[in-house]
Amino acid sequence: MKKTTLLILGSLTSVITNLDATPLTLDTQKIAVSGLSSGGYMANQFHIAHSKWVDKVGIMAAGPYYCANNSIKEALEKCVNKSTENTDKDLHRQANIYAKNGDIDPLENIANSKVWLLRGNKDTTIAPAVSKALFTQYKNWLNEDQLKFVTDQPFGHHFPTLANGTKCHVSEAPFIGNCNYDGAGEMLNYLYDSLAPRVTKTTGKLQKFDQHNLGGDSAQSLAKNGFAYIPNTCLQGEMCKVHIHFHGCQQNEETIGTQYVTQNGINNWADNNHLIVIYPQTKNSMFMPLNPQGCWDWWGYTDKKYATKKGQQVKAIKNMVNSFAAKIKLGE
Average pLDDT per run of 10 along the chain, which is 332 residues long? 37 33 79 98 98 98 96 94 79 93 98 98 96 95 96 97 96 95 98 97 94 95 96 91 97 97 98 97 91 95 97 97 61 29
Distance of CA 12 to the CA centre of its chain: 26
Out of 157, 158, 243, 247, the active site residue is: 157
Helix, strand or coil, per DSSP, at residue 42: helix
Residue 18 lies in a domain: yes
Q: Give yes or no: 245 in active site.
A: no
Helix 38-49 × helix 312-325 angle, to 10°:
70
Q: Which amino acid makes up residue 129?
A: A
Domain tally for the chain? 1
Distance of CA 214 to the CA centre of its chain: 17
Cα 159–Cα 161–Cα 167 angle in degrees, nearest 5: 80
Report yes or no: 230 and 205 within 8 Å, Cβ to Cβ.
Answer: yes
- Say what the pLDDT of residue 258 is: 97
Question: Which pTM does this prediction carry?
Answer: 0.92
- Say what the pLDDT of residue 91 is: 79
Report yes or no: 204 and 235 within 8 Å, Cβ to Cβ.
Answer: yes
Q: Give yes or no: 157 in active site.
A: yes
Helix, strand or coil, per DSSP, at residue 245: strand
Instruction: Give me the domain span that covers residue 321.
Output: 4-325
Residue 73 lies in a domain: yes
- Phi and psi dihedrals of 224, rounded to 5? -60, -40
Q: Give yes or no: 37 in active site.
A: yes
**What's the rounded Cα separation, in Å, for the pair 298 and 61?**
13
CA quadruple 209, 158, 139, 301: dihedral sign: negative
**What's the rounded Cα separation, in Å, for the pair 313 and 305?**
10
Residue 34 burial (CB count, 10 A) = 28
- Say what the pLDDT of residue 130 is: 96
Q: For the chain, where are the alpha helices, taking DSSP H only?
A: 38-49, 72-78, 93-101, 128-139, 183-191, 211-215, 232-235, 253-256, 259-263, 266-270, 312-325
Out of 123, 182, 271, 297, the active site residue is: 123
Q: For 275-331, where are the alpha helices, taking DSSP H only?
A: 312-325
- Say what the pLDDT of residue 23 is: 64
Residue 81 lies in a domain: yes
Report yes or no: 28 and 321 within 8 Å, Cβ to Cβ.
Answer: yes
Residue 309 lies in a domain: yes
Residue 145 lies in a domain: yes
Residue 32 lies in a domain: yes
Distance of CA 155 to the CA centre of its chain: 20
Residue 180 lies in a domain: yes
Residue 331 lies in a domain: no
Out of 34, 37, 38, 221, the active site residue is: 37
